[in-house]
Amino acid sequence: MLAMLIALAAAAIVFNILSHGLFLSPRNLWNLAVQTSVVGIISTGMVLVIVSRNIDLSVGSLESFLGISGAFLQLQVLHIGAPNTWWAGILFVVVLGGLCGALQGAITAYLGLPSFVVTLAGLMAWRAVAWLVTRGETVTPLDSTYSLFGDGSIGVAWSWVVGAAIVLIVAALALNRRVSRSRVGFGNRQWWLDLAGIALVAAVVFAFVATMNAYTYPRSVVGRGIPVPVLTLIVIVGIMSCLATMTRFGRYIYGYGGNPEAAQLAGVPTKRVVTIAFAIVGVLTGVGAVVTTARLNAAPLSIGQLLELQVIAACVIGGTSLTGGSGSIFGAIVGATLIQSLLNGLVLLGVDSATQQIVEALVLLAAVWFDIIYQRRGA
Amino acid sequence: MTQGPPLVEMRGIHKRFGGVHAIQNMHLTLYPGEVLGLLGHNGAGKSTLMKILAGAYTLDTGEILVSGSPVQILSPRDSKRVGIETIYQTLALADNLSAVANIFFGREIVNAFGMLDEARMERDAISVIRRLNPNFQNFHALVGGLSGGQRQAVAIARTLQFNAKIIIMDEPTAALGPQETRMVGDLIRQLKAEGIGIIMISHDLHDVFDLSDRVTVMKNGRHVWTGHVAETTKDQVLEMIILGKVPDGSYAPGMTSDFG
Ligand SMILES: Nc1ncnc2c1ncn2[C@@H]1O[C@H](COP(=O)(O)OP(=O)(O)OP(=O)(O)O)[C@@H](O)[C@H]1O
Ligand SMILES: [Mg+2]
């Protein structure tokens, strides 16, 4: 993990020098954050699926289906500009995503088909279903409130509020840990260690907020603040981290990934747990579809191409083992940021998109190779 | 000691795996506060019979009674619900979780918000594991990195945490050194005194004679003999295990007089 953070910092410095300071400009970092959000959002769920010794290859294709279905609903059933359209559209996409994910998860868990095959079928099928919905036409334009989920931002003041809230939550969790340990008569580590940790988080968070605020609207001094897709990512990272590390469900996913037989013998409802993990990826793919279509203000068939590979690469680069049992959501976010930084940096340097894809492929290979090295060292 | 209704009664149990008839018309009885040694050659069907009781396998035909009433054991959960805890031969630990997480795996303590109560689980895990091994320290280390003996301690601790009436131990001391084995022996006596019934599978006849009240011998998935350890000798038991030849010189049903 530390290695990945160092790699990220190194990539940032190299790109910044090569691009004569463009890479680390507020404007580029703001864009980079937005570009990272969709892969980041979905990767938080993909981590759990991979930890449970499965894989989901369908997310790119599913994103296309969900985006088009949601857009189709907005245009044909709801009405663009009507007060309920934006949230009903989002709810529909997210719920539909959950159902599609649960379907793939149930086929995997209850029928015992390998998830590789089930979701490969999903990869082939969902985009085709999307084509059937609109006969391949791009659905556009979309509701303007809905579009804020792709290109809106929350302004300077709210960005500081969000930053402060994150720091407060981290502090509250640290405090809660100390209180619950004292309650059962355990000692705690020195208070200044906790405090130093919180201070580090605060420094990173406030630096991030300041950067987002430093990117102003054209011909104005008003900062944009945290983009809505990035805020969405932040909230989802919070929820998913909590789910993974603080709930029974998370414990079951990791335990199942470590030893499926042990989980079954311990009475864990393993089939249900695996199905839920896939349903979560489906929901998050729905969120990704909302962000992507809202940003484009359109739902073309082509969205989500190779998205599954970027998401899986983000997980693996972030330390998720493809053999299951280990991986973290924070790691996946670092992985997603690293991939997007490379792509973004290459764009800044004027590298064409074919070369970008080759670099992406090499990064994926390198990440899996690292995984194998970690495994060997562990064994 | 063997008074009152049996804690567990298994009757007419059959189990097939494809063509393999792993358990045939097997029966056994366990009384409160008793240790029953379950003996047999490799592949005799001991683990399979116990996995049926633990809910890991479901029986083909036969019945199981717990404290006199018939029970349906279709899953590990069913088995735990009627008070049966199992230490599996493979230990069934998740190597990527800590000792604490393994002890509570499947039955985590949560707080009012449904969040894991790590501090309480850790406190309870420490007190139960120290019963087995006062020197145990690595509560937060991943179980995959622990020694064989420590792993076994975690697996045993898991059965003690939840007030079992019946504990199945499939080779509980296989990975333990002499001192740890003695500690498990002490623990078994202590559990017995609490009225818990224990079924212990072991290949170590010395241990079995030392700790068991009665033994049940099986061979080729069938019942050979059940009786008090005082009624028999290690040599006789070996004959039963290897040849299926019971103490009165005859052969148990289904055993041929020649070897195997
Ligand atoms: N899941 C399974 N599928 C097929 N056959 C099985 C299965 N489990 C056990 N068997 C077979 O059932 C028979 C009994 O095996 P079991 O593991 O119960 O023996 P055991 O008495 O515990 O032996 P050991 O002393 O080596 O642990 C063996 O022939 C084994 O191959
Ligand atoms: Mg066995």
Q: What span, in angstroms and rounded, lies between the C-alpha atoms of B174 and B75? A: 26
Domains in chain B with CATH codes: 8-94+163-243 (3.40.50.300)
- ipTM comes to 0.89
Asked if B103 contacts B136 with a C-beta cutoff of 8 angstroms, the reply is no
Phi, psi of A10 (to 5 degrees): -65, -45
Rounded CA separation A40/A33 (Å): 10
The DSSP output letter for B114 is: S
Q: Which CATH number is A39's domain given?
A: 1.10.3470
Inter-chain residue contact B116 with A246, CB threshold 8 Å: yes
Q: Average the pLDDT over each of A189-193, A360-364, B155-159, B214-218 and give the range with the smallest value.
A: A360-364
- Shortest alpha-carbon distance between residue B98 and chain A (Å): 10
Give the rounded distance of the alpha carbon of A107 from its chain centre: 24
Angle between helices A85-111 and A144-151 (to 10 degrees): 60
3-state DSSP call for residue B194? coil
* Res. B258: pLDDT tops 50: no
d(CA B16, CA A227): 61
Name the residue among B88, B110, B119 with its Cβ closest to that of A265: B88
Q: Which long-range contacts (CB under 8 A, 24 or more apart) does A177-180 make?
A: A177/B118, A177/B119, A180/B117, A180/B118, A180/B119, A180/B120
Residue B26 structure tokens = 């097997």
- Residue A378 confidence (pLDDT): 58
Average pLDDT, chain B: 90
| Average pLDDT over every residue of B180-189 | 87
Q: Which residue of B14, B16, B20, B217 sits with most ligand 1 atoms within 8 Å of its CB, as the best mutation to test the pocket?
A: B20
What is the pLDDT at residue B256?
64
Give the whole-angstrom CA distance, residue A88 versus residue B44: 62
pLDDT (0 to 100) of residue B260:
42
Q: What is the per-residue pLDDT for B70?
A: 96
Degrees (nearest 5) of the Cα angle B174, B180, B182? 95
Q: Is residue A203 situated within a structural domain?
A: no
pLDDT of residue A24: 95
Confidence check: pLDDT of B135 > 90 = no
Q: What is the pLDDT of residues B49-83, one digit of tens each?
A: 999 999 999 999 999 999 999 999 999 999 999 99
How many domains is chain A partitioned into structurally?
1
Residues of chain A with pLDDT under 50: 379
pLDDT at A245: 96
Single pTM value for the model: 0.92
Give the H or E element holding residue B22: strand B20-30
Compute the distance between CA of residue A288 and CA of residue A282 in angstroms, rounded to an integer: 10
Q: Is B93 on the interface with A (CB under 8 A)?
A: yes
Mutate to test the interface with B, among A243, A259, A377 (most CBs of B within 10 A): A259
- For the ranges B32-36, B162-166, B230-234, the one whose mean pLDDT is highest: B32-36
Q: Judge whether A12 lies within some domain.
A: yes
Three-state secondary structure call for residue B232:
coil
Give the nearest partner residue to A248 out of B75, B95, B108, using CB atoms.
Answer: B108
The amino acid occupying position A173 is L
Residue A154 in tokens = 């929350």
Q: Residue A215 falls within a domain, yes or no? A: no
How distant is the alpha carbon of residue A158 from its chain centre?
22
Residue A118 CB-half CA count within 13 A? 21
Indicate the pLDDT class of residue B259, thresholds 50, 70 and 90: very low
Q: Is residue A183 part of a domain?
A: no
For chain A, positions 120-179, list CB contacts with chain B under 8 A. Answer: 177
Determine, for residues A264 and B93 on separate chains, whether the beta-carbon distance falls below 8 Å.
no
3 state SS of B26:
strand
Domain assignment of residue A90, given as a range: 2-152+227-378
Whether A245 maps to a domain, the answer reads: yes
Evaluate if residue B252 carries a pLDDT over 80. Answer: no
More confident residue, B244 or B115: B115
CB-CB: which of B76, B95, B114 is closest to A247?
Answer: B114
